[in-house]
Amino acid sequence: MVITAAVTDSKEQLYYTFASRYVRAPLPRFKMPENSMPKEAAYQIVNDELMLDGNPRLNLASFVTTWMEPECDKLMMDSINKNYVDMDEYPVTTELQNRCVNMIAHLFNAPVGDDETAIGVGTVGSSEAIMLAGLAFKRKWQAKRKAEGKPYDKPNIVTGANVQVCWEKFARYFEVELKEVKLKEGYYVMDPKEAVEMVDENTICVAAILGSTLTGEFENVKLLNELLTEKNKETGWNTPIHVDAASGGFIAPFLFPDLEWDFRLPLVKSINVSGHKYGLVYAGVGWVVWRSKEDLPEELVFHINYLGSDQPTFTLNFSKGSSQIIAQYYQFIRLGYEGYRNIMVNCMENAKVLKEGLEKTGRFDIVSKDVGVPLVAFSLKDSSRYTVFQVAECLRRFGWIVPAYTMPANAERIAVLRVVIREDFNFSLAERLVSDIEKVLKELDALPPRVSTKIDHKELEALPPRVSTKIDHVTAVANETEGIKPDNHHLREIASYWRRISNKKASGVC
């Protein structure tokens, strides 16, 4: 949900060119129109507005699937009117979800026998999955503390500072302290040793990430399990591990099958994964799987007598569509292990093409790792003339949506661009992107060098007070990694500029 902050002027109108052959009167922008209109006009109006959205295939910021086969598209459209929670009315859809849960549990090496049913649930994404897993950990910890006659009002979770924002949401919404292991330059994932040192008797779990959104890197879950096992023996706390495999859960089993990160490690009690990322389904499906029934407190499962049957449910939502669940099952049986592996290998090969192309320019440092999610994160070797943010902005002219961002606390000096390689990003697109990046760099090289915001205080004091104040303000908010030391000519240019504008009346709009 996005909380709107738009100015809702009731007098503001919408005017449309093509729709005017059907509707001549303008539409109110923020109020429902008084009258109906032809369906052709409504379609044209909405379609015209959506033309200004970015192209999903060129959105290299997102991990979310942007292409599926036409047969799967048809299955989704055929089931778009099915409400997933009506399990008695749509029992086959429920059965398909249960099959998906079991397939994922086996993929993650859960200790489930051939005649046993895995414990898990489909969600609207990994955010909800993490909320549910976090609640299970909190309730189990509280029950244990109550039984021991100890306080249970200050639970905490230990994570790295590279966690996705949904972990912060969980902590705030469900009153759990989030203890973050800070990152450091050159090491952009959680340090298992530091994480275990932060664990105390109030820690409900340690959350490890299989595929950091910053660099795609896998955290060392095996080492975390070993260190935490030793600490649990010393303290008797029995602190468990949750693995946030939103991005890497459908990568590691196919590309790095010998990597131990899942239920093969005894302390891993639950895992979430996003079906709408490398599970290859359109946005709106995630999964959370528990090691065993004992790891999901029964008190969190609701049994609802609704529309004719007992429905056990553990979810933060109620009504939701069935399409994504059905699409996930289609992908599992359509591709199988072989198909998923082929796609992930292809993604990695395309990431390698992009990485090598960027390295050949001699202008970038590659920050991402070879073992992880297929993405390429890279920073400018020289940011004195322009920044990665300017590169990202210029790439928009070619249609590419490439995010630029700074790393979290203790590593915020590093600013990077990141390209996520999905199934629909092919070899040709990788070559084209490198070519367009080279064009952008050439254009930026031709521009005058940026005036530094890093100004020596002695030089600043020599300027007129009003100019000094303005420059000091700019300096305070500047990114310190991006400046070059100015010479006196640059300072005179800045001073001259501020003198020209300081005597003019401000409009009141900044």
Which tokens sit at 392?
């990202």
Same domain assignment for residues 101 and 176? yes
Phi, psi of 366 (to 5 degrees): -85, 125
Q: Are residues 211 and 302 in the same domain?
A: yes
Q: Are residues 321 and 428 in the same domain?
A: no
Q: Is the pLDDT of residue 417 over 90?
A: yes
Whether residues 326 and 367 share a domain: the answer is no
Do 117 and 195 lie in a common domain?
yes
Judged against a pLDDT cut of 70, whether residue 10 lies above it is answered with no
> What's the total number of domains in the chain?
3
For residue 17, what pLDDT band results from cuts at 50, 70 and 90?
A: low
Q: Look at residues 444, 478, 495 and tell me which one is the last residue of a structural domain.
A: 444
What average pLDDT score do residues 392-411 get? 94
For residues 380 and 384, what is the distance between their CA atoms, to the nearest angstrom?
A: 10
Q: Is the dihedral of CA 245, 249, 255, 257 positive or negative?
A: positive
Quick: pLDDT tens for 253-287: 999 999 999 999 999 999 999 999 999 999 999 99
pTM for this predicted structure? 0.84
List the beta bridge partners of residue 372. Answer: 217
Span of 27-41, 160-174, 410-424, 446-460 with lowest mean pLDDT: 446-460
Q: Is the dihedral of CA 325, 283, 252, 188 positive or negative?
A: negative
Q: Tell me the three state secondary structure of residue 236.
A: coil
**Is the residue at 477 inside a domain?**
no
Q: What is the pLDDT of residues 62-79, one digit of tens each?
A: 999 999 999 999 999 999
Query: What range defines the domain where residue 109 resides?
Result: 73-331
Last residue of a domain, one of 444, 469, 488: 444
**120: CATH:** 3.40.640.10
Which of 131, 137, 295, 126 shows the shortest CA–CA distance to 206? 137
Q: Is 172 in the same domain as 224?
A: yes
Give the separation between CA 150 and CA 134, rounded to whole angstroms.
20
| Across 17-26, 102-111, 148-157, 289-298, least confident range | 17-26
Is the Cβ–Cβ distance between 38 and 22 less than 8 Å? Answer: yes
Asked whether residue 506 carries a pLDDT value surpassing 50, the answer given is no
- Is residue 236 located within the same domain as residue 365? no
- Asked if residue 323 belongs to a domain, the reply is yes
Residues 236-251: pLDDT tens digits?
Answer: 999 999 999 999 999 9
Residue 409 binned pLDDT confidence (cut-offs 50, 70, 90): confident
| Distance, first Cα to last Cα, the chain | 29
Residues of the chain with pLDDT > 70, as a percent, come to 82
Judge if 371 and 259 occupy the same domain. no
254 and 144 in a common domain: yes
Asked if residue 61 belongs to a domain, the reply is no
- Residue 358: exposed, middle, or buried by beta-carbon count in 10 A (0-12, 13-18, 19+)? buried
pLDDT tens figures, 294-304: 999 999 998 87
Verify that 80 and 35 share a domain, yes or no: no
CA nearest neighbour of 276 among 78, 1, 119, 66? 66
Q: Is residue 381 part of a domain?
A: yes
Q: Tell me the pLDDT of the chain averaged across its residues.
A: 87
Inter-residue contact 249 to 274 (CB < 8 Å): yes
Are 203 and 101 in the same domain?
Answer: yes
Residues 101 and 239 placed together within one structural domain of the fold:
yes
What would the mean pLDDT of 434-458 be, rounded to a whole number? 78
CATH at residue 440? 3.90.1150.160
Q: Helices 427-445 and 388-395 sit at what angle, rounded to 10 degrees?
A: 120
| Gyration radius from the chain CA atoms | 27
Q: How many CB atoms lie within 10 A of CB 387?
A: 19
| Mean per-residue pLDDT, 34-54 | 90
- 123: enclosing H helix or E strand: strand 119-123
DSSP class of residue 53 equals S
